[in-house]
Amino acid sequence: MAKALLSLSAAQLSERIRNKEIRITDVLDAVFETIQKREQELGAFITVDEKGAREQGDALQRRLDVGEDPGPLCGVPMAIKDNICVKGLPTTCGSRMLKEFVPTYDAEVIKRLREAGAIFIGKTNMDEFGMGSYGETSFFGACKNPLDLTKVAGGSSAGSAAAVAAGEAFLALGSDTGGSVRTPAAFCGIVGFKPSYGAVSRRGLVAYASSMDQIGPMAKNVEDAALLLQVIAGEDPMDATSRGLKESVWPIQNRCDLSGIRIGIPSGWLQDQLSGGMRQNLEQAAAALRDLGAAVETFDLGYEDLAVAAYYTIADAQCSSNLARFDGMKYGYRTQDPAASSDLHRMLKQSRSEGFGREVKRRIMLGGFVLSEGYYEAYYLRALKVCRLIREAFTRAFEHYDLLLGPVSGDVAPPLGASFLDNLKMYESDCYTVPANLAGLCALSLPFGANENGLPYGIQLLGDTGCEKGLLEVAALLEAAALPDGYQQAAYGEKGGDLNGECL
């Protein structure tokens, strides 16, 4: 019973719960049994809230039993990245600094999810404050890949990806500043979606780099990712940067082929960092899209080689400013050193030195440097100019192409520990994901093929800002082509539907 339950998608699960074919308590039994079995070895959660989840489940079941419909995610157990505020649950950001922080309010996305009937089962492990690509910089220890415990789960939304891949949750929320939803989704073999800048409210998301942060869905398949996006997206008067979605993305429109769709692969993404296996799978994804009727070709995007440098300059600058509030006074950990109690400067310095981990401190220092007088023009301002050039390069690209295709990462999930040996290499590995954040695009990561050890390759589809609907329609078809039984079998429906919206 539990196994059959856990193999359902979130959309199927909520439908069956709402049809009274499944009781929520059985779903929660299955989920917490899996957590019991796997959590020890995985480290996907920082906080598990079984009591709270059971209470939410009972309340929803009562509403169902009296004939109410609590919403499209009714009874679906969800894991939430630990930088998103859920009222009453610790929100640590994977940091000692916020180990004791319990928010008094729900983030806007959480509010929307509660209204849709989702159940929050816990808060997931992450790279400290979202800074990392492999899920290893958390104060609470690394999160491991459920497909191979010697490999990283990917970061920074490591626990969210691992929880969904391991059957500990049906859906999860991550946040993506430079790839943190897409990379762990790719390494764990699930779907991860970074919405366009502004599609989803960030009120209640602890800020890392504000010009790029976005909350995004992590799910077992494209359909679930679209459903979750539909629920969380929308304009929020409390977040001036939020605009919501241009068009509704749920339910995904049926399409039987991709004729008339043009897809470009930036040739700069096909350089040496790409492993043979990754290249081969990317080529197969392109072939699958061609078989579906799309025109796929490589093209020169431009500035691919500058994206990582621009991203880390901008992200570090913004993080040094955003994290200034964590000082042991306004927020966060305060040093226990008695010598610091009568010396304000010492207290601030020591609290931050002890409260933040190595990677966070490195970035705060770099960020302070690139913003300092005399260096601001040479670094931060210059990075902003490069960011502008990248945005313009994408604007030109989307005049010719409906979507872009690329890898998520150069290869499958690397072994645990590798990032500590060479952090510049870790930064460089973000070269395929950071451009979407610099330019505010939407981008989706989809598992497509696996290596000889069963580790998945992640393929990325990118759409222009606001074009999530068309992107999800194409992704759904590509996903069906990636299924073991091969091409031609569209997951979504028969004939009909058309992709000739404003974007595609």
The token duo for 487 is 């091409």
Query: Could you tell me the smallest distance in angstroms from the CB atom of residue 157 to ligand GLN?
Result: 8
Burial 375-412 (b: 16+ CB within 10 A, else e): eeeebbebbeebbeebbebbeebbeebbbbbbbbbbbb
Contact call for residue 133 and ligand GLN (CB under 6 A):
yes
Q: Which is nearer to ligand GLN, 93 or 228 (CB)?
A: 93
- 256, 490 Cβ separation under 8 angstroms: yes
Burial 190-227 (b: 16+ CB within 10 A, else e): bbbbbbbbbbbbbbbbbbbbebbbbbbbbbbbbbbbbb
Cβ atoms within 10 Å of 117's Cβ, excluding its own: 25
Query: Could you tell me the smallest distance in angstroms from the CB atom of residue 299 to ligand GLN?
Result: 26
Which residue matches tokens 């460089």?
428
By DSSP bridging, strand 442-450 and strand 45-48 are unpaired
Near ligand GLN by CB under 6 A: residue from 140, 193, 208, 448: 208
Print the binding letters for residues 430-469 with ligand GLN: x by CB under 6 A, - otherwise: x---------------------------------------
Query: Could you tell me the smallest distance in angstroms from the CB atom of residue 9 to ligand GLN?
Result: 25
Q: What share of the chain is helix, strand, coil (3-state, %, to 5)?
A: 45, 15, 40
Q: Which residues contact 230 (CB under 8 A, 6 or more apart)?
A: 72, 245, 248, 249, 250
Q: Which is nearer to ligand GLN, 161 or 480 (CB)?
A: 161
Annotated active-site residue 180? The verdict is yes
Near ligand GLN by CB under 6 A: residue from 72, 77, 103, 132: 132
Q: Which is nearer to ligand GLN, 34 or 177 (CB)?
A: 177
Q: Which is nearer to ligand GLN, 132 or 456 (CB)?
A: 132
Catalytic residue among 133, 180, 409, 429: 180
Helix (H), strand (E) counts: the chain? 17, 13
Q: Which is nearer to ligand GLN, 91 or 335 (CB)?
A: 91
The token duo for 164 is 């969904």
Query: Could you tell me the smallest distance in angstroms from the CB atom of residue 255 to ligand GLN?
Result: 30
Rounded Cα distance between 106 and 101, Å, is 13
Print the binding letters for residues 306-335 with ligand GLN: x by CB under 6 A, - otherwise: ---------x--------------------
Near ligand GLN by CB under 6 A: residue from 70, 130, 216, 414: 130
Catalytic residue among 14, 95, 133, 156: 156
Catalytic residue among 81, 151, 194, 469: 81
- 270, 280 Cβ separation under 8 angstroms: no
Nearest Cα residue to 161 out of 124, 195, 128, 212: 124
Cβ atoms within 10 Å of 362's Cβ, excluding its own: 14
Query: Could you tell me the smallest distance in angstroms from the CB atom of residue 309 to ligand GLN?
Result: 13
Query: Could you tell me the smallest distance in angstroms from the CB atom of residue 27 to ligand GLN?
Result: 30
Annotated active-site residue 156? The verdict is yes
Q: Which is nearer to ligand GLN, 106 or 430 (CB)?
A: 430
Stretch 155-184 residues interacting with ligand GLN (CB under 6 A): 156, 176-180
| Phi, psi of 486, rounded to the nearest 5 degrees | 90, -170
Query: Could you tell me the smallest distance in angstroms from the CB atom of residue 169 to ligand GLN?
Result: 20
Annotated active-site residue 349? The verdict is no
Residues binding ligand GLN: number (CB under 6 A) = 13
Rounded Cα distance between 304 and 317, Å, is 21
Q: Which residues bind ligand GLN (CB under 6 A)?
A: 130-133, 156, 176-180, 208, 315, 430
Residues with a known catalytic role: 81, 156, 180
